[in-house]
Amino acid sequence: MDSTQSTTLSWANAFRVYLEATTWKIFALGFAAGLPLVLVLGTLSFRLREAGIDRATVGYLSWIGLVYGFKWVWAPLVDRVPIPLLRRMGRRRSWLLLSQLLIVGGLVGMGITDPKLALSSLVVFALLVAFGSATQDIALDALRIESAGIYRQAALASAYQTGYRLAMIWAGAGALWIATLVEAGSSEIVQNTPWEMTYLVMAASMLIGITVVLFSKEPAQVSLPAAKNFAVWFYDTLVGPFADFFKRFRWQAVLLLLLIGIYRISDIVMGVMANPFYVDMGFTKLEVASVSKVYGVIMTLIGAFVGGALSMRVGVTRVLLLGAVLSAASNLLFAWLSGQGHDVNALIWVISADNLSSGIASAAFIAYLSSLTSIHYSATQYALFSSLMLLLPKLLAGYSGVYVDAFGYNNFFMATACLGIPAIILVLLAHKLHK
């Protein structure tokens, strides 16, 4: 059934899509995709700061996230080259399995490594998790697109996002809860033991995705150019997506790429110091887990729903502008929070506003990126755009700890709010181009 036929579906048939095996498969794989991201970024920064690692080092280690910004480099290999020993599984499932095994191995290594004794080894394991996670994202995006027709893609995307967000709660709040319970259950305990148990549980949680990969079917494969015609393969894979984008937008492509590169800079740079900030403000693991990792994720989902609905009503670029303004403004609330001390109620209000703003901005930004892709290169161009979105913000975020040490949290949060001003200006320019 194609997209034109989908308009004749009854409401019952439309919602029945969510009960199909393919939808549940994508939901489970979405969970496997969301789990490692939090563990190598957010949860890791909390663990490092709690272990006494200085803020500058915590900031530098956020550069681990740059791995996701360069996934487009090896994406053509994942897309086109089968794994010899796993060839019978198919390209998508074989790459998914390999990447998931890398994630499990990396998480186990992160768990058994004490950052105070072997920080370098911990970084190596975290990089392994990030590489496996980015590779899993590439293969999973391709599998999702090839698993159903156009009219089912919205349902699959919804299932993927739901699984992804649930994994973020488990890897964020769940990790802090497990560490707290293990810590409370022993009177004489080695400091790394709570986190060791936490990361081992998280590694075991990846069995959800591994099981789905092992027992599901490979989607119908898209035909590839003949292997002997290397020139066609090279152009279509590496040159075509770039050439197509600049051909369609000409000089405006530079403006659009600048917008993509800095739109989330305010959120991402601030986010690296969020967990160290909570630790330094005296918030406990359970408080952070309950407020930031659960309530905050729920508010993000609400914001995404609101942003999606508004985008359909008033247009994507208008909501893109709203998201840019709210994201920058919400960082000022953290500057206010830094002067309140250990106040859980204040934390709830700030987290609510920040995550609601982030949800609105993310929904509009995803819709905007999707509108820029060509039907011939949608998966590749979207991967390029999402990678570009992370490069500059992650690079700048690496210096966040140094900035906080020099100027304090209050000035840091105000500075990150100012970083959002260029994004607002570029959205206004882009909106004029779309009129």
Buried-exposed string 67-95: b where 16+ CB fall within 10 A, e elsewhere: bbbebbeebbebbeeebeeeeebbbbbbb
**Where is average pLDDT lowest: 19-23, 399-403, 425-429?**
19-23
Q: Which of 185, 178, 244 is nearest to 43 (CA)?
A: 178
- Whole-angstrom Cα distance, residue 100 to residue 209? 8
Stretch 214-225: mean pLDDT: 72
142-182 confidence digits (pLDDT tens): 787 777 665 565 567 667 777 887 898 898 888 888 888 88
290-343 confidence digits (pLDDT tens): 887 677 878 877 887 777 667 767 777 888 899 999 999 999 999 999 999 889
H or E element: which one contains 93?
helix 91-112
Residues 6+ apart with CB under 8 A from 199: 39, 107, 108, 110, 111, 112, 175
Residue 7 pLDDT: 43
Residues 6+ apart with CB under 8 A from 18: 155, 158, 159
Sign of the alpha-carbon torsion through 426, 427, 429, 430: positive
Most confident of 12-26, 173-187, 241-255, 362-376: 241-255
* Residue 89 covered by a domain: yes
Single-letter amino acid, residue 364: A
Residue 3 pLDDT: 40
Residue 158 pLDDT: 65
**Does residue 2 carry a pLDDT above 80?**
no
* Residue 7 covered by a domain: no
Block residue for tokens 């304090």: 408
**Does residue 23 carry a pLDDT above 60?**
yes
Q: How many domains does the chain have?
A: 2
Residue 16 pLDDT: 61
pLDDT band at 222 (very low <50, low <70, confident <90, very high): low
* Residue 434 covered by a domain: yes
Stretch 17-28: mean pLDDT: 77
CATH number of the domain within which 329 lies = 1.20.1250.20
- Strand, helix or coil at 342? coil
Crossing angle of helices 21-40 and 119-146, rounded to 10°: 160
Instruction: Using a cut of 0.75, tell me whether the model's pTM lies above it.
Output: no
Is residue 170 domain-shared with residue 275, that is, in the same domain? no
* Residue 4 covered by a domain: no
- Whole-angstrom Cα distance, residue 48 to residue 401? 12
Question: 155, 141 in Cβ contact below 8 A?
Answer: no
What are residue 429's phi and psi, to 5 degrees? Answer: -65, -40
Kindly state the percentage of the chain with pLDDT values over 90. Answer: 29
* Residue 5 covered by a domain: no
Stretch 345-366: mean pLDDT: 86
Residue 186 pLDDT: 59
**Does residue 65 carry a pLDDT above 50?**
yes
- Whole-angstrom Cα distance, residue 400 to residue 394? 10
* Residue 84 covered by a domain: yes
Radius of gyration of the chain from its Cα atoms, rounded to whole angstroms? 22
- Tell which of 195, 224, 253 closes a domain: 224
pLDDT band at 390 (very low <50, low <70, confident <90, very high): confident
**Where is average pLDDT lowest: 26-35, 45-54, 237-246?**
237-246
**Does residue 61 carry a pLDDT above 80?**
yes
Is residue 125 domain-shared with residue 25, that is, in the same domain? yes
Question: 152, 17 in Cβ contact below 8 A?
Answer: yes
In 3-state terms, the chain is what percent helix, strand and coil (to 5)?
80, 0, 20
- Whole-angstrom Cα distance, residue 411 to residue 55? 15
Is residue 35 domain-shared with residue 120, that is, in the same domain? yes
- Strand, helix or coil at 217? coil
Is residue 184 domain-shared with residue 252, that is, in the same domain? no
- Tell which of 158, 192, 224 closes a domain: 224
* Residue 2 covered by a domain: no
- Tell which of 206, 224, 242 closes a domain: 224
Is residue 19 domain-shared with residue 146, that is, in the same domain? yes
* Residue 317 covered by a domain: yes
Is residue 327 domain-shared with residue 220, that is, in the same domain? no
Question: 395, 272 in Cβ contact below 8 A?
Answer: no
- Whole-angstrom Cα distance, residue 301 to residue 168? 12
Is residue 145 domain-shared with residue 244, that is, in the same domain? no
- Whole-angstrom Cα distance, residue 154 to residue 77? 27
**Does residue 223 carry a pLDDT above 70?**
no
**Does residue 194 carry a pLDDT above 60?**
yes
Question: 342, 283 in Cβ contact below 8 A?
Answer: yes
Residue 151 pLDDT: 54
Residues 6+ apart with CB under 8 A from 260: 369, 385, 388, 389
Single-letter amino acid, residue 275: N
Question: 369, 386 in Cβ contact below 8 A?
Answer: yes
Stretch 31-55: mean pLDDT: 88
Stretch 377-389: mean pLDDT: 74
Residue 363 pLDDT: 73
What's the mean per-residue pLDDT of the chain?
Answer: 82
Is residue 285 domain-shared with residue 174, that is, in the same domain? no
The residue range of the domain holding 128 is 14-224
Residues 6+ apart with CB under 8 A from 21: none
Is residue 197 domain-shared with residue 321, that is, in the same domain? no
Residue 131 pLDDT: 95
Is residue 217 domain-shared with residue 235, that is, in the same domain? no
Q: Where are the beta strands (DSSP E) in 6-165?
A: none
Is residue 158 domain-shared with residue 196, that is, in the same domain? yes
**Does residue 44 carry a pLDDT above 80?**
yes
Is residue 190 domain-shared with residue 317, that is, in the same domain? no
Stretch 58-64: mean pLDDT: 88
Stretch 120-136: mean pLDDT: 94
Residue 359 pLDDT: 81
Stretch 369-374: mean pLDDT: 74
- Whole-angstrom Cα distance, residue 192 to residue 260? 39
